[in-house]
Amino acid sequence: MVDVVEADLSRPDDAQAVIDLLNRYAQEPAGGGAELEEEVRRDLIPALQRRRDALILLAMLDGEAVGLLNAFEAFSTFAAAPLLNIHDVYVLPALRGTGVGRAMFQYAERVARDRGYCKMTLEVLSGNLPAQHLYRSEGFEAYVLDEELGQALFWQKKLG
């Protein structure tokens, strides 16, 4: 059975698990297909430790980290309330479809409800159908304010 825990980034094992799992995610097509830069691996944990809005979850199976969920508090001006944006979700390939991702989402939702967040958000690649299936089964849906204007799109502008 999988256990979901909030990562304690002051513990070397938890910190290394976060880096290792995120690096594995980055190397897959859905993560960009390249290893994390050395400076990112070096700077990630100290940067996360400085944030007070981060929720970093590890899925543990028999003492090994097999899943990662990184989320950050944001704010909904339309609801005048905080929300939880799920930024990264990764499960080791051999364990996909076994409930590891679902367990992390359910843990994140309990935290979000306990903190009084108005909603949870995430983005997903249009071709990542297995992830979309999980997200829909957990109650996520496309963001639409007006049917004529269509679905919200996630865009970016890199600054460096």
Number of other CB atoms surrounding residue 20 within 10 Å: 14
* pTM of the full structure: 0.94
CA distance 85 to 62: 29
CA distances from 127 to 37, 54, 60, 69, 111 (A): 25, 27, 28, 20, 29
Q: How confident is the model at residue 160 (pLDDT cuts 50, 70, 90)?
A: confident
Domains of the chain, earliest start first: 3-137 (3.40.630.30)
pLDDT at 155: 87
The structure tokens listed for 93 are: 């390939």
Q: Which of 57-71, 97-111, 140-154 has the lowest mean pLDDT?
A: 140-154
State pLDDT tens for residues 3-48: 999 999 999 999 999 999 999 999 999 999 999 999 999 999 999 9
Q: Helix crossing, 38-50 with 12-27: angle to 10°?
A: 130
Examine the pLDDT at 157 and tell me if it is beyond 90. no
Residue of 87, 98, 102 whose CA lies nearest to 31: 87
- Tokens, residue 36: 């994390």
pLDDT of residue 28: 95
Average pLDDT over residues 54-74: 98
How confident is the model over 78-118, as pLDDT tens digits?
999 999 999 999 999 999 999 999 999 999 999 999 999 99
Q: Which helix (H) or strand (E) holds 91?
A: strand 81-91
Q: Is the dihedral of CA 128, 142, 123, 89 positive or negative?
A: negative
